[in-house]
Homo-oligomer: A and B are copies of this chain.
Amino acid sequence: MTAYTAVVTVRLKRGVLDPEAETTARALERLGFELEELRAADRFEVDLDAASEDAAAERADAMAERLLANPTIHDYTVEVESR
């Protein structure tokens, strides 16, 4: 077994409104910052032991499907690195 860290990034699907990100962008503008757009995402770093990088990615993918992301409104990506 090797020690891996799987990074699961969960984003709202394109077209799903994100009032919190919108509020953050407006607040930055009120502070004088210039920006075009701001998107917010959740990042989960999962330390796990697995037989291979593929096995680690598969497990992290299943975690996203079952709990970390809501398939109705979220897209997600999984990246695995050994630690």
Give the number of times this chain occurs in the complex, counting copies.
2
A13 beta carbon closer than 8 Å to chain B: no
Contact B27 A67 (CB under 8 A): yes
Q: Counting CB contacts under 8 A, is A68 at the interface?
A: yes
- Give the nearest-CB partner of A21 in chain B: B44
Over the window 33-45 of chain A, the binary record of Cβ atoms lying under 8 Å from chain B Cβ atoms (1 yes, 0 no) is 1111111111111
Whether B35 contacts A46 by the Cβ 8 Å rule is: yes
Distance in Å from the Cβ of A61 to the closest Cβ of chain B?
11
18 chain-A/chain-B pairs, Cβ below 8 angstroms: A3-B36, A24-B44, A24-B68, A27-B67, A28-B66, A33-B59, A34-B48, A35-B47, A36-B47, A36-B48, A38-B44, A38-B45, A38-B46, A39-B44, A39-B45, A40-B44, A41-B43, A41-B44
